[in-house]
Structure formats: structure tokens, C-alpha cells
Structure 1
Amino acid sequence: MSWLSNVRNALSGIVPGAKQQTPDNLWHKCKGCGTMVFTRELEENLYVCPTCEHHERIGPTERFAHLFDAGTAAVLAAPRAAEDPLKFRDSKRYADRLKAARTGTGEQDAFVNARGQIHGRRVVIGVQDFAFMGGSMGQAVGEAFIQGVEAAIKDRAPYVVFTASGGARMQEGILSLMQMPRSTVAIQMLHDAGLPYIVVLTDPTSGGVMAAYAMLGDVQIAEPKATLAFTGRRVIENTIREKLPEDFQTSEYYLEHGMIDMVVDRRELRDRLATVIGYLTAGERRAA
């Protein structure tokens, strides 16, 4: 279908002569190449630019809709966690930032779990939402990660985590950093149960998340050209006094240097995950 047909279909409900405007979200400017892409076409292409194949950032709702078999997904209720334990305030109160993020995303915090099936195999998927305060890791994210592990153990299913984060949530101080060892212990619980832990790194994944559960997968997958880093490029260059390669801290660089197992286009990810899960759970029975 041509872009002209897409526009015609989108505007078919507009009454001639009425003072109505084209919706602001009819077009999307690709952050990779700058091309204006019809929003519906972008959605149908799983938010991958049809011109340059740049992968736009997406949240839990889009991930679950794409990955799970139809009718099998069940989102887990967000676990309870202490809110604003330090009564933190910078230019705004932390409580106000949380309220704004919840209004903007419709989620309780930056990490959401769901259980379901991929090609008939049980799986629990956790998705970190960069739109919620940069996907930052606080107590709620730590609790949600542990919830996902416990659900996977209960279901005898792999746990697949999609990371997208700027790192630890500064408004929770040391309590945020404590989620790093907590998530590591939770992953060990999963291993003790004989279940796989699979990580899909998405743009961007950095900081405390990168130093914790993002790099502890039995299988490490990444979306193309995702920025993956513990600390910023300029910080490293100023420290070592050297110019880093142009593709430094990208999925492709990590793959070339043996730090991840594969880079997979989002449109192929569901089938690739099904294959990996099939290999890692060969002895487990399929879901009824």
C-alpha cells in the first residue's frame, strides 16, 4: 500500500469543509535517518524504519503483543515497593516525577512482567520501559525482576528480560544500588531450578543495569545498533586518552568482541526466541 493510500485511509473520516486538522501523530520522523514515516506503516513494521531499519524504542505493551501467542499473555500485577523512601527532591519532588511517569506511560513503574507462550512453549517475559524515567532501576524494578523470576520458577518456564535503562535511579540512592546484588541472587535461584535466563539488550542499556542482570544471561541477544554501555563514551576517552572506534558501545561491537551471542532484527526476534527456548528446554513438556 502506498503512502498516499495510507493517508487517504487515515483521513477518510474527515468531513469536507469542517475545521479539522491532520492528527499530530499521523507521521513519525525516524530518529535514524530523519525520514518521515507514516505512523501506521511504522506500527505494522514493529516500529522499525522501512528506510534505514532503525529500531525505535517501544514499551511493554508492544513487546507483549508481538512476542506472545495470541490469547496467551497475562500481565502480572506490579509488586508493592516503598515509594520515595528518602523523601527526595531536586528541581521536583520524586513523588511528582513518579506521578508524571505513571500518567505518561500507564504503568506503575519501569519494569513489567507477563506470562504466556511463544510457539506453544511457556515463557515469562519482563520488559523494562525507557519511557518511565529512563527505565531507571529502583526498588520497584528490583521487586518486579524478582517477581518475574519467581513466576518463571512456578511455571517451569524460561525468563526472558528486555533491558532498556539509563541505570540506577538516583532518587533512591543506595537502595537503588542494592537491586544489583538482589537481581544476581534471583538469577541464581533460576539456575538452581534448572531454568534458562535469556537477555535481550535494547537501546539504550547502561549503568547499574548493564553491570547487573543485563549481562548475566545464559544467552545474550541484542537488537541492531543498540547503545550498550556501563559509562559514557566521553568519560572513557578522557580516562584512557584515546579515541574510541565509531561503533564502540553498539550491539555490533559487542558481538564482534564476543560479549553477546547474536544481534537479531526485531521482526525476527519472536521466531529466534522460540528456537532458543526450544533448545534450552528440550526436556520440558510443551504447554497444554
Structure 2
Amino acid sequence: MSESVSGRLSSRGVRWPIFIALCLLAASIIYPLWFVIITSLRPNADYLQNPFGLPSEWTLDNYATLSSAYGLGRAFVNSLMVTSIAVVIVLILATIAGYALAKLPVPGTKWVTATFVSVMLIPGPVLIIPIYLLLARLGLQGYPGLILVYVATGLPFATFFLTLTFRSIPDEVIEAARIDGAGLFRTLWSIVRPMGASGIATLAVLQFLGVWNELIFAVILIRDQSLWLLTPTLATIGDRYLNDQPLVSAGLFVTASVPLVLLAFASRYIMQGLQVGVSR
């Protein structure tokens, strides 16, 4: 009896420090978001008087200025279109390749996987000039070239990630589907895809965040300002001698709104997908 009571007390003693640490971690994440939202809803003059206080005047003028002067609405739609197309293509190709490497007798599977890992180790900035010169010679500047870059740079990690995901699916399930007469794509769609849904959802979120926040290729491959994505548009806010933090905060909140909504809806799948390969 005394041992069970002492065990409960010790477990409670361990839980409270963990709970306090998690609360501090949550506060460190929530406060910057709260500060950005509050700052975006106040005039610049009010912000300069008391940057860390509550606004004395609430306004949506910063969002109106972003829409009228910087074309933020058009850039938002452009980013959403390019990001969605790139992520869908990556998911389709990575799902097929990951299933093949995980469950099919592909010659040299280990070498292919090692090649993907080695490509992932190459720093991104090293590829900027070669990729630009290659796309310029092929005439693929603009949205086609940008989507191709996003697919090519995201595919190695995506394939490696889904290979680990699909390896956790029991071989007996796939064999049973084959015995029942399911073909390759039927098995992939009806068996592998539902069982690997958490990993696919996690990968979709990671790929979306990476493409949505990318800046360098979006700047050098798209010259027409009317076709700019969200990140290059936000980079033009203000100038060297102008400090308009509320306007910048409004742009930051618009940029962060889509990832926040996506993470809120996909958080359950992300927690499951991050455990890929742990039990294998």
C-alpha cells in the first residue's frame, strides 16, 4: 500500500515540472503570435509611442494598404496555387516511389535510398546558380520552372520519408490484397494509402511549409511583379529608411495564417507521422 502511494506521489512530482515546462514553451510560442496580431491592428504612430503596450487605436488600415499598394491578395493566390501544385506532384511521385522502394523487389534499393540521403545533405544555396543557368537555357523561367525546382528539391526527402512510412505496413496485409486479386495501383490506393495516411499527411504539411516560405528561387525565377509570390512581395515592404512594423506584422500574419490553419487541422496526423519507423 505504501509503495503504491509513494509511486503516485513520485509520478505527480514528475508531472508538475513537465507541465510547467510545457506551459512556458507554449507561452514562448503564443506570445510572438499574439504580439504580431496586436501590432498589425494598430497605426504606426501608436506603435512607436508604446511598442509593447496595448493599442490605443484599433485599425485594419495595414491590411488595406497591403492589398492596395503591394497587391498582397494577388500574391497570396499565386503562392497558394504554386504551393498546392508542387505539393500534390511531390506527394504523388513520392508515394509511388516510396511504395516501390519499401515493398517491391526493386534492384539496388539500398543504393537508391542512400542516393536520396546524400542528395539531402547538399546545401541548398550551392544549387542556386546551376539551377538558374539550367532553367534559363531550357526556357523554363516563371511558374513552370519554379514548380519544377520545388518538386526536384522536395522529392528526395519525400521519397525517403514515405519509404520509412510504408515499411511499417505489414507485408501480410499486402499479400492478402494480392491474393484477393488487387493489382499494383489498387493495392497502393486501397491498402497502402489509408494505412500510411498519417505519414502522407505529415509529409504534406512539411512540404507545404517548405514551399510556402521559400524566397530565393521565387525571387530569381519570377521577374514579372504581377506574378510574384507572397514571400517576395513581403520582402518589398518598406525601404531602407522606413520602419513600419505594424505593416510588416500584418504581412507576417497573412503569411502565417495558412500554415497555422493547416497545422491545426493536421496536428493529430503529424504526431502519428513523426513516429514513423520507431517500431521497426
TM-score, with length taken from structure 2: 0.23
TM-score, with length taken from structure 1: 0.22
More strand by share: 1
More helix by share: 2
